[in-house]
């Protein structure tokens, strides 16, 4: 069964968008198989975004992810990795289509409210980073 890691970033939680985002994924038909709320340390954020360590925004990005509660989730369903990214929308909300989460609910790239794994390998790595096996149903 295909699974992906999706997180509502501190801006999404702070803005009260948790229920809205979960609702969109549930209504599509994907299944929530793990969820927790946590404030990640900066070191943890650096692990999560290690692929971006050479980018100029890396430090600010990790600082931001660790700045408040994050809702970490695992979602399951056929095609959930790719279609989950489709529901989320393009990285920069200025380019996200209306009807997507970022397109409807966000404005700037540094505050794009949600994260989704970008492929099968990262999905596996991110699920293992954020969750223990016994936390998944
Ligand atoms: P995410 O990994 O958070 O789901 P993504 O896969 O759409 O987003 P990535 O290229 O992995 O995009 O970038 C990770 C995050 O880094 C983005 O979600 C965004 O918050 C931030 N980011 C990306 N590009 C920029 C940029 N040019 N300036 C500032 N922040 C950026
Ligand atoms: Mg990414």
Q: At what angle do helices 18-28 and 80-88 cross, to 10 degrees?
A: 130
Our mutation pick for probing the ligand 1 site, out of 109, 117, 122, 123, counting the most ligand atoms within 8 A of Cβ, is: 109
Contact 112 CB / ligand 1 (< 6 Å): yes
ipTM score? 0.95
Q: What pLDDT, on a 0 to 100 scale, did the predictor assign at position 34?
A: 98
Atom number of ligand 1 nearest to Cα 51: 11
pLDDT means over runs of 10, the chain (137 residues): 98 98 98 98 98 98 98 98 98 98 98 98 98 97
Q: How far is the CA of 91 from the centre of ligand 2 (A)?
A: 8
What are the angstrom distances between the C-alpha of 104 and each of 21, 76, 79, 96?
A: 11, 23, 22, 8
């Amino acid at each position: 069964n295909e699974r992906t890691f999706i997180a509502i970033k501190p801006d999404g939680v702070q803005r009260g968008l948790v229920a809205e985002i979960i609702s969109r994924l549930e209504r599509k038909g994907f299944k929530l198989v793990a969820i927790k709320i946590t404030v990640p340390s900066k070191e943890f954020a650096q692990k999560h975004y290690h692929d971006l360590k050479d980018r100029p925004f890396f430090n600010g990005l990790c600082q931001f992810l660790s700045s408040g509660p994050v809702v970490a989730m695992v979602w399951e369903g056929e095609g959930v990795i790719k279609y989950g990214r489709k529901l989320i929308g393009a990285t920069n909300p200025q380019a996200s289509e209306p009807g997507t989460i970022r397109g409807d609910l966000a404005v700037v790239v540094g505050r794009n409210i949600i994260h989704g794994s970008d492929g099968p390998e990262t999905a596996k790595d991110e699920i293992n980073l954020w969750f223990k096996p016994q936390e998944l149903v």
